């Protein structure tokens, strides 16, 4: 998880630091997450949503909780590089949630269903709506689903605008997450 965060653009790591984003790995999933909330006498997330999740952004705790059992199963048999890619993709998705949830307004969030409909089919199909996500959660899920794709592009040196995204989706994404990020300075 630390490598995934370190691989983010510097200004995005700073934003995560500013919002106080932390990470934890939970062995007893989802009960461990639910217990954390109950101990703090706060309303926990839905057990149904947590049950199938690889990770979750816990807004009240400003924490990305990673499901240890999920990761242990999903990376079994993968080489180190593939394992790091899987972990990074899930972590970047959750960091996308963290940035969107903490930076979006009610007005922006209510655009979620419309933006979801404008996503390319592969990204739209990756979001279980209607189903797992409610209308009021959809905006953040759209941003979180786009974020790992965009981070991977930058890691491959592609800082261009995301031409594969509808202009309205691209605008919403860029309002949440500064894009394109600054290029790393040349050390030579």
Domain span at residue 165?
A: 2-176
Least Cα distance to 112 among 98, 99, 101 occurs for 101
- Taking the whole predicted model, whether its pTM rises above 0.75 is answered as yes
C-alpha atoms less than 13 angstroms from C-alpha of 156 in its C-beta half-sphere? 8
CB contact at 8 A, 86 and 75: yes
**48 occurs within a structural domain:** yes
Number of domains making up the chain: 1
- The bridge status of strand 22-26 relative to strand 55-58 is unpaired
> pLDDT tens, 86-99?
999 999 999 999 99
> pLDDT tens, 92-142?
999 999 999 999 999 999 999 999 999 999 999 999 888 778 888 899 999
The two tokens of residue 188 are 């030579």
**123 occurs within a structural domain:** yes
In this structure, what CATH number is given to the domain that contains residue 154?
A: 3.40.390
CB contact at 8 A, 67 and 53: yes
């Amino acid at each position: 998880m630390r490598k995934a965060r370190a691989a983010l653009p510097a200004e995005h790591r700073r934003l995560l630091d500013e919002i106080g984003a932390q990470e934890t790995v939970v062995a007893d999933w989802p009960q461990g997450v639910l217990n954390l909330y109950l101990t703090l006498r706060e309303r926990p997330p839905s057990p149904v949503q947590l049950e199938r999740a690889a990770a979750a952004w816990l807004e009240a705790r400003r924490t990305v909780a990673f499901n240890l059992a999920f990761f242990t199963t999903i990376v079994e048999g993968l080489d180190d590089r593939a394992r790091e890619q899987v972990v990074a993709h899930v972590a970047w998705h959750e960091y996308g949630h963290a940035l969107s949830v903490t930076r979006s307004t009610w007005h922006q969030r209510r655009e979620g269903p419309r933006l979801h409909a404008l996503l390319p089919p592969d990204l739209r199909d990756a979001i279980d709506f209607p189903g797992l996500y409610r209308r009021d959660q959809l905006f953040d899920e759209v941003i979180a689903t786009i974020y790992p794709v965009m981070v991977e592009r930058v890691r491959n040196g592609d800082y261009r605008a995301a031409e594969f995204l509808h202009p309205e989706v691209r605008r919403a994404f860029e309002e949440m997450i500064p894009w394109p990020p600054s290029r790393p300075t040349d050390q030579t």
